Structure 1
Amino acid sequence: MGNKAYFLSFLIGFALILSLKFASAQMVPAIFVFGDSLVDVGNNNKLPVSVAKANFPHNGIDFPTKKATGRFSNGKNAADFLAQKVGLPTSPAYLSVSPKSNSAFMTGASFASGGAGIFNGTDRTLGQSIPLTKQVGYYESVYDNLIQQQGLSGAQKSLSKSLFSIVIGSNDILDYSGSSDLQKESTPQQYRLHASGARKFVFAGIGPIGCIPAQRIKNQTDHGCNEGSNLMAVSYNKGLNSMLRELKSNLTAISYSYFDTYSLLLNIIQNPATYGFAEAEAACCGRGKLNAQIPCLPVAKYCPSRRDHVFWDLYHPTEATAAILVDAIFDGPKKYAFPMNVRQLVAV
């Protein structure tokens, strides 16, 4: 009996040590994620009319549960890796949480939605996603909930130390109509977030979307990158940087880290072996040319070694690529993360 009691005490002590270790590793109170399929962790699963879903095989084949979760990836995505970096569980998908669960958003929430854009009309054809304006509206509901739980001063203190990650814009370019001004449209959402407690922002620029498999197959001869799409991405990123500088001058209390996704991902694509990849053009999962003519559906084929591929499907990076990108924004030099990286942002 004494040995059992000793063993039980040992287990309890060990559990306490582990919990203290996790608590000490937690760097921010919460993470709130806004964006598109690059960071969607399951919101689109709850949209009944949406066809932009990833809740079926072969998605999730390398996720810890080995099951599809709604992430457009073979495993974890950037939202998961960012949460790991700051010692938090992945922020839950807003639509998957019961409204009766008052403490559900204490460590954050994800409003990201596959197919989402900055403009309300980005997805007007299928109506399959949650646009940025609605995502911010959902956050404002969470803000009210946090005030009820913590009081106004408590909620604002917690939120001022939390991270607000925004990864969006690619779908606007892919659906570009030639008549929209992204810079002007995006600004009001950042002011709304600021008014609801946000102070530390993580912005990801658009990557070289002309080099994704879905764009490469449009070049019938050499499967090179679509330079027109890449030029639009560069233009958008310049506008975003200009907006951020203006936002900082008007709202001096905010701080931000901007990640130059374009430069690093293009470097990975052009020099894949340097980063441990063998294939930077074709998707791992799909069918047809570059595995990009048919999406990653259950009937599709997938590569045996996902770590060898930069792209998982015709649009999205593999888990391995997402991990490299998050490493760079979290601890990288100003070449990729400026005016500071996320570790520095957390310390502000």
Structure 2
Amino acid sequence: MALWILCLLVVLGMGFNMVSGQGEDPFGPEGGRRREMVPAMFIFGDSLIDNGNNNDLPSFAKANYFPYGIDFNGGPTGRFSNGYTMVDEIAELLGLPLIPAYSEASGDQVLHGVNYASAAAGILDITGRNFVGRIPFDQQIRNFQNTLDQITDNLGAVDAAQALARCIFFVGMGSNDYLNNYLMPNYPTRNQYNGQQYADLLVQQYTQQLKTLYNLGARKFVLAGLGRMGCIPSILAQSTAGSCSEEVNQLVLPFNANVKAMLNSLNVNLPGARFIYIEIAHLFEDLIANSKIYGFSVVNRACCGIGRNRGQITCLPFQTPCENRDQYVFWDAFHPTEKVNIIMARKAFNGDTSIVYPMNIEQLANIDIEPN
């Protein structure tokens, strides 16, 4: 049985009736889609890459309304963007279709992976409680595990493990643990930990979560670092001068440093594992420093929002956004525009080690890894 079929089955979460031609890929060149570099991509994260998992939750963290999705084919989906997210573009570069949200995936929609990301989610379960409903990283892993357990019963552990070893696991966590936990006045966290202690706490938990995915069979990991969060419109709006908060930018540095140290350790100590790290902060600094080259004319104000820097209140239902969206770095108070997401995805896909370390996504996809 072809390995791509085994991997696709993993995410179904229920029995899958095999049809004739089981060794052929209907999504391959003959089906009109470019060659798939990997069988599937599984996505874990927050609102930067959520594509609809919060839509039916009792949550304030939703984006399933216009003008979100104004540039997305089909309109609003729950993506916190005017169009593509970063993982949408990465999926296309890998030759995959857009990966469906876990909450909406069914039948052949899930054949190439599942997106478990949830707006307001964090590494810590308590993160994001201001928004009420959200799916923390631990629960995202359990959601993946539930489907994996069911399909492994049907396929057997050996076949499932062979397939999973070829899949990409994209993880982008941590932003909310700062924005919607540590920096929130109604959380006690800031009084309990200094910046380094909090980064240590987060990455200690993060390490265990990633090891859980490894123990479930994941081998190829893409970890996204935190960006220059002191420069997002929501934080800029808190300054009368409209300037970046260096306090916030400095606060997240230990987290990124810890994640890179963790990555190096896991690459050494977990047999067969390949972890790579995307330098989101470096990508953002490059976009700002070379904004005119990239075609951006507005780097410090949201395309859709209200108040100072259009960041005091984020994009509201049926609000009229800016018309020249490709000239804006930020779509709303917290999230980049589709254009930024696409640029970052392409650089992470085939960039050098100053952007993605120790190899890029394309190189990771092409590595053959045997399960242990």
Q: Does the residue aligned with 2:103 lie in a helix, a strand or coil?
A: helix
Moved more, 19-28 or 106-115: 19-28
Structure 2 counterpart of 1:203, from 199, 204, 223: 223
Shift of 1:264: 1.0
When residues 17 and 170 of structure 1 are mapped into structure 2, their CA distance, relative to the original with a 3 A threshold, is closer
When residues 337 and 153 of structure 1 are mapped into structure 2, their CA distance, relative to the original with a 3 A threshold, is same
Deviations 1:300-344 (A, max 9, x none): 331101100000000000000000000111000111011000000
Question: Percent identity, aligned pairs only?
Answer: 38
Q: How does 1:91-240 map to 2 (within 5 A)?
A: 91-98=99-106, 101=107, 105-174=110-179, 175-176=181-182, 177-178=189-190, 179=193, 180=198, 181-221=201-241, 223-240=242-259
When residues 314 and 126 of structure 1 are mapped into structure 2, their CA distance, relative to the original with a 3 A threshold, is closer
Moved more, 142-151 or 326-335: 142-151
Q: Does the residue aligned with 2:131 lie in a helix, a strand or coil?
A: coil
* Alignment TM-score, normalising by the size of structure 2: 0.84
Shift of 1:145: 3.2
Shift of 1:276: 1.2
Q: Does the residue aligned with 2:130 lie in a helix, a strand or coil?
A: coil
Q: Residue 93 of structure 2 aligns with which residue?
A: 85
Deviations 1:117-158 (A, max 9, x none): 100010233332110000011111121233245332222111
Structure 1 counterpart of 2:66, from 40, 52, 57: 57
Q: Does the residue aligned with 1:335 lie in a helix, a strand or coil?
A: coil
Shift of 1:104: 5.0
The gaps in structure 2 that reach 5 residues or longer are 1-25, 183-188, 368-372
Q: Is the 8 A contact 1:291 1:313 kept in 2?
A: yes
Shift of 1:248: 1.6
Work out whether 1:41 is the aligned partner of 2:60.
Answer: no
Deviations 1:203-231 (A, max 9, x none): 0000001100000011112x111111111
Distance 1:283 1:214 in 2: 9
Distance 2:30 2:153 in 1: 28
What one-letter code is carried by the residue in structure 2 that aligns with 1:72? F
Moved more, 316-325 or 290-299: 290-299
Distance 1:327 1:299 in 2: 31
The gaps in structure 1 that reach 5 residues or longer are 1-15
Distance 2:319 2:109 in 1: 36
Q: Is the 8 A contact 1:286 1:296 kept in 2?
A: yes
Q: Is the 8 A contact 1:106 1:146 kept in 2?
A: no
Shift of 1:34: 0.2
Matched length:
327
What one-letter code is carried by the residue in structure 2 that aligns with 1:63? F
When residues 302 and 198 of structure 1 are mapped into structure 2, their CA distance, relative to the original with a 3 A threshold, is same
When residues 199 and 77 of structure 1 are mapped into structure 2, their CA distance, relative to the original with a 3 A threshold, is same
What one-letter code is carried by the residue in structure 2 that aligns with 1:225? C
* Alignment TM-score, normalising by the size of structure 1: 0.90
Moved more, 131-140 or 287-296: 287-296
